[in-house]
Amino acid sequence: MKWEKFSASLISLLFLIGCAVGPDFVRPKPPPVERYTPGEEPSTTISADGRAQTFEPGAEVAADWWHIFDSSKLDSVIKAAIRNNQNLQAAQASLRQSQENLTAGYGVFYPQVDGNFGVSRQKFSPVKFGATSSGSIFNLYTLSATVGYTLDIFGGQRRAVESMSAQVDFQHYTVLATYLALTGNITNTLIAQGAYSDQIKATEEIISLEKNQIRITEAQAQAGTIPYANVLSLRTQVAATEATLPPLKQKLNQAEHLLATLVGRAPSEWTSPQISLTDLTLPTDLPVSLPSELIHQRPDILASEAQLHSASANIGVATAALFPNLTLSGTYGVNNNSISDLFKSVSGFWSLGADLTAPLFHGGTLWFQRKAAIEGFQQSLANYRQSVLTAFAQVADTLRALEHDAETLQAQAQALDASEQALRLVQANYRAGIAGYVQLLIANDQYQQAKIGFLQARAQRFQDTVALFVALGGGWWNAQKGPG
């Protein structure tokens, strides 16, 4: 009968040890939405600058998505940045740190063994035992080993390790997010650099054109066919156009310096490759992940989910703290007043014990710590939901942006073509003496604005294409060997 009771108690104890208090983490379900934008989502854009872009729902996103721009210069810069970017290296080091902390955390599941060797000089007084003899002075050598093991009956330690494991996941997705931001920033910056270079070239061409007009106007003024005030007006126009060059050059320099920083080099140590927008190929077939897939692809959403998991495990840690804690311990050692006699049989001592500690009154600390953990979970849940909504909005923004970019670029191309034809016609009439300088100034200004507007619209279309790949998560899950 006693053996049956003991067996039943042992089985109950093992059952308790196998359980962990607190909620088991359940991955949040995706929102019940099937599209990103209200109404019908765009399936294709209009053709602009000779290319239309088509959206392919459910298509896979390539891990090295930037290759689709078909630029060896872009590929080389990204490759260098992946090797040397300091933010990426810091994120990877943080991941390794969390992995080591997790490995260290698993140590709580094993017995803790400590050894001790002590030497002391003591004086013994027999008086406290009722004797009247004088005391003695002696040396005491002690060698012992202690074993302690805490039974994780209510799973507090398992929940703590679970929280640490979730932090490893968080750091892993932080590495992926840093990687995605790095590749996106480099691609955008290189596009901006190309756009600034093209705008500078276009502005220099316009300045050259305007200076030719000045020479013609000066000749007409010397011939007395037009007033000299026309020459001064054209010179004013040239000066105004030349004033737009320094800001463009400054932006170009800033883009070059930013690229150097992203590559992990000082601007003085690294030279950015010279690039034009014509060196890039605009992708025409664009993947669009389904909303139910996006939440398992975006690194920021997955990082938020990992924090939610950690917060859930913390509830279990706080809950387990409300229950008793059982620790088993044992000590074995030898001591003697002579180190040479330390290992004699009479020198040995040992002890076995169990320590049960139960919280009785802590002023409500443990109870409210659990409530705080629950509220921390609710906070993480709200943050997760907000990250999902933000991701959906970013994809919706880029889909509509690409649709509108094509419309804008088409209009800018038409404006550029019309303004160029008008300028040539006015120039011919001006040389023939049948058009005035005011008409020439107006046509010249319209052409300049149309040229710059066209280049800006082309660059914006490229950058919004990059934004779509970034918003979809960058395709890291399709890589055989990821950055983390």
Rg (CA), the chain: 38
Domains of the chain: 18-113+153-324+366-478 (1.20.1600.10)
DSSP helix/strand/coil, 147? strand
Between helix 156-222 and helix 299-320 the angle, nearest 10°, is: 150
The pLDDT value recorded for residue 126 is 79
The pLDDT value recorded for residue 303 is 97
The pLDDT value recorded for residue 216 is 82
The pLDDT value recorded for residue 234 is 84
The pLDDT value recorded for residue 18 is 55
Q: How many residues does the chain have?
A: 484
The Cα 88–Cα 484 span in angstroms is 9
Count H helices, E strands: the chain? Answer: 10, 6
Answer for the pair 145, 115: CB distance below 8 angstroms, yes or no: yes
Between helix 72-84 and helix 156-222 the angle, nearest 10°, is: 140
Question: Which residues of the chain fall short of a pLDDT of 70?
Answer: 1-18, 480-484
The pLDDT value recorded for residue 227 is 85
The pLDDT value recorded for residue 43 is 92
pTM above 0.95, yes or no: no
The pLDDT value recorded for residue 295 is 95
Degrees to nearest 5, angle at CA 202 with 198 and 205: 140
Please tell me what DSSP assigns to residue 271. Answer: -
Q: 255: part of which helix (H) or strand (E)?
A: helix 245-262
Between helix 156-222 and helix 365-432 the angle, nearest 10°, is: 20
Closest Cα partner for 187 from 482, 484, 468, 478?
468
The pLDDT value recorded for residue 4 is 52
Amino acid at 42: P
* pLDDT tens for each residue of 13-32: 444 455 789 899 999 998 89
The Cα 447–Cα 426 span in angstroms is 12
- Number of Cβ within a 10 Å radius of residue 254: 15
371-391: burial string, b at 16+ Cβ within 10 Å, e else: eebbebbeebbeebeebbeeb
* pLDDT tens for each residue of 290-338: 999 999 999 999 999 999 999 999 999 999 999 999 999 999 999 988 8
132: alpha, beta or left, given left = phi > 0 and alpha = psi -120 to 50? alpha
Between helix 72-84 and helix 86-105 the angle, nearest 10°, is: 40
Answer for the pair 430, 440: CB distance below 8 angstroms, yes or no: yes
Distance set, CA 448 to CA 52, 204, 452, 469 (Å): 26, 11, 6, 33
C-alpha torsion angle, residues 308, 310, 315, 316 (rounded to 10): 130
Structure tokens at 422: 């008008």
The pLDDT value recorded for residue 484 is 52
